Amino acid sequence: MGRVRARQRLAERVRLMTTGDARIRIPDRITRGDLITVNAIVAHPMDTGFFRTPEGQPIPAYFIKDVVVSYGDAEVARFERTSGVSKDPIVSFTLKADREAPLTMVWADSKGGVYRQSVQIAFAAA
């Protein structure tokens, strides 16, 4: 009776990710000049503003509206989002790794929240 079923445990683990938790994935091995694929995810509810609670109250819009990507000192990409993107949005793009430098992503949401994550682009030893 007091046991937690596997499906309930999964739901408990998922809830441990809080709004703004972000991850960036890059290849393990990078050499100068490589075109690498960068995959990033941020935990966010991405509410559209078109839905209501069971009591009939509107759920206000709450979504990631901007994503800015910097490589070293330079801004290399900017993504503008709308409310029509699913929960926990993913950004994926290609980047030419021409220098060792931090890759930083900053997500900004419609309620003023700002979430930041960085990884270091470092070249593999020859």
The whole model's pTM is what?
0.81
In the chain, where the domains are located:
6-121
Please tell me the distance from the alpha carbon of residue 70 to that of residue 75, in angstroms, as a whole number.
4
Partner residues linked to 67 by β-bridges: 79, 107
Per-residue confidence at 126, pLDDT binned at 50, 70, 90? low
Predicted confidence (pLDDT) per residue in 65-116, tens digit: 999 999 999 999 999 988 888 899 999 999 999 999 999 999 999 999 999 9
Predicted confidence (pLDDT) per residue in 36-75, tens digit: 999 999 999 999 999 999 999 999 999 999 999 999 999 9
Architecture of domain 6-121: Sandwich (2.60)
Nearest Cα to Cα of residue 111 among 41, 66, 63, 44: 63
Per-residue confidence at 34, pLDDT binned at 50, 70, 90? very high
Quote the DSSP letter at residue 6.
H
- Give, rounded to a whole angstrom, the gap between the first and last alpha carbons of the chain: 58
